[in-house]
Structure 1
Amino acid sequence: MSTYAIGDIQGCYAQLARMLERVAFDPSCDRLWLVGDLVNRGPDSLRVLRLLRELEGAADVVLGNHDLYLLMVAAGYKRRGSDDTLRQVLEAPDRDELLHWLARQPLLRLEGEHVLVHAGLLPGWTVAQAKALSDEVGAALAGPQARKFLLELAGNEPERWSDKLKGWDRLRVIVNACTRMRFCTADGRMALRAKGPPSQAPAGTLPWFRVPERLSRTHTVVCGHWSALGFHREPGLIALDSGCVWGGKLTALRIEDGAVFQVPG
């Protein structure tokens, strides 16, 4: 049995299929860990969703910002980007089944000494706290106010976590940290507009995983989201977004031995 963590797919079905062939993936005994951003900007989000739904039980998924954007658009969110490539999904005959499956995926999965999340964890969160907060978002996505939640989700405020936060603000901070964050201050204020490499950190910030004494350093975080960082490993971190949708590579890492596999975008 092997476990393969795979970076942001973003609708690049052909590259995902080649990766599964490359590693000789066997769903009867192997597992996939998908770090989110399954859809959007690439050409074939619909086939990606259908494949991963079929692999349920062998594929563990967490939600990325583009996956949540798809759910927002389906709920009636109108402010869409010019590079949105979600029409196939939204018009598919199995749209509702796929969206229901996607909305039931968590922001975070805890697998032994590994944490699977799309973007990162705020430095003041323990792994146990982050898991509990992910569960709050999951309950909102599955609850009677799911549509209202999705329509309230966009925005960068509040910029930092507080245990006193309630309602949509509380959920928005959790989602932004887990699916959008790259840089933050030592006390956890997120710089959500910054997208460059670590060398271009906004003044007073640093990559979230390099905040001294971050409480999640007890585990190895497996994430994606940051194509300008690229495939990167350091103690406590495996970052897998190597820009497949931008012509880079799709990266997979076998958890058991650290072997790396890549296919061109």
Structure 2
Amino acid sequence: MLKLDMGVYVIGDVHGCVKTLAALIDQFEVGSNDEIWFCGDLVNRGPSSANCIRFISSLKIKTVSVLGNHDLYFLNICKDNPKSIADKGLCSILEASDKLDLIDWLRNRPMAHVEKNNILVHAGIYPSWDTKKVTLLSEEVCKELKSHNWQTFLSNMWGNYPNKWNDNLENFDRKRAIVNIFTRMRYISRDGYLDFLLKKAPSKKIDGFSPWFNHESLKTRKERIIFGHWSSLGLLIRKNIISLDTGCVWGGLLTAVRLGDCKIYSQKLID
């Protein structure tokens, strides 16, 4: 477990709501030895995607941010003409004089971050993956994102299949499965099939599927997994699970947790 005297604050999906983010961080009273982690989806939907990246990258303390599906969506379309993109927040990046710096900063984020017994991801972890495999698969995708062919790689990452992990998957099918699991998964069947279209809260029973973190074969059960992505699930804190997407961009709250004592911080949308 991270030391209680070191403040590690983890923030849910920001989605370009930089004013709300700044107000939330003001509540922390962070010191120089503190850290702020982000569950991904820093950009898209909200009004200030460019300023959100600038703000986070300029913080004077250590930050960790994993990639979310909306971050990857932006990286995939960043070669397009800004006039063809409906989201004005994303256009703020593409029209910025420092857009290449913003893009490079974002694509150099990890898919997962493992520290002590904490695992930070955007959406989830496949039940058969242990901590070592989480790290290796994150690095496998990050290697592609840091390469000269990263845009070609991303253009092949869209789609819902394969919808079951298999260690024998190869090439783009393998990478697409890794990306979808880390950034899009919510529900899984007992035999390991994923349904990426199901977005309801778990309180509404869905035949044949359950939240990935309830799967009986979850190998990372002894670790604490912190994630966002699932706004209909909202804030959920268990011994081994922390869910932090509380729908800020939809008019809800931006939520954070301090890992040492699980103190919750929240900020209403002000963007």
Q: TM-score scaled to structure 2, two decimals? A: 0.93
CA RMSD of aligned residues (A): 1.7
How far apart are the structure 1 equivalents of 2:206 and 2:195? 8
The equivalent of 2:196 in structure 1 is 192
The answer for the alignment partner of 1:110 in structure 2 is: 114
Q: State yes or no: 1:96 paired with 2:104.
A: no
| Deviation at residue 180 of structure 1 after TM alignment | 0.4
Shift of 1:76: 4.5
Letter in 1 for 2:20: Q
In the TM superposition, residue 243 of structure 1 has moved relative to its aligned partner by 0.5
Residue 216 of structure 1 and its aligned partner are, at CA, apart by: 1.2
Counterpart of 2:169 (choices 165, 168, 174) is 165
| 2:98 partner amino acid | D
* CA deviation after TM superposition for structure 1 residue 90, in Å: 1.0
- Paired residues of 2:34 and 2:61 also in contact (CA < 8 A): no
Flag the 1:95–1:81 CA change in 2: closer, same or farther, 3 A: closer
Instruction: From 218, 226, 230, give the equivalent of 1:222.
Output: 226
Residue 56 of structure 1: how far off its partner (Å):
7.2
CA distance in 2, matches of 1:135, 1:77: 30
Matched AA of 1:176: N
Residues 33-65 of structure 1: CA distance to partner in whole angstroms, max 9, x if unpaired?
100000110111111100111237611010000
Report the Cα distance in structure 2 between the residues aligned to 1:193 and 1:202, rounded to whole angstroms: 12
2:39 to 12, 29, 35: 35
The match for 1:47 is 51
Aligned partner of residue 215 in structure 1, secondary structure: coil
Measured after TM superposition, the shift of residue 23 of structure 1 is 1.2
Written as runs of structure 1 = structure 2, the 5 A alignment for 1:238-249 is: 238-249=242-253
The CA distance in 1 between the partners of 2:168 and 2:200, in whole Å, is 31
TM-score by length of 1: 0.95
1:203-258 deviation per Cα after TM superposition (whole angstroms, max 9, x unaligned): 21100000013111120000000000001112210000000001110111011111
Tell me whether 1:138 sits opposite 2:138 in the alignment.
no
Structure 1 contact 38–48 (Cα < 8 Å) conserved:
yes
| Separation (CA, whole Å) in 1 of partners of 2:146 and 2:119 | 22
Any stretches of 5+ residues in structure 1 without a counterpart?
none
Alignment identity in percent? 39
Residue identity matched to 1:36? G
The residue correspondences of 1:118-129 to structure 2 (distance < 5 A) are 118-129=122-133
Work out the CA distance in 2 between the residues paired with 1:201 and 1:138.
35
Q: Does 1:149 align with 2:153?
A: yes
What are the superposed Cα offsets for residues 163-216 of structure 1, whole Å, 9 maximum, x if unpaired?
Answer: 111111101100100000010112321110111101335421100000013111
Contact 2:245 2:255 in 1 (8 A): yes
Per the alignment, do residues 201 and 123 of structure 1 end up closer, same or farther by CA in structure 2, a change over 3 Å counting?
Answer: farther
How far apart, in 1, do the equivalents of 2:45 and 2:161 lie? 25
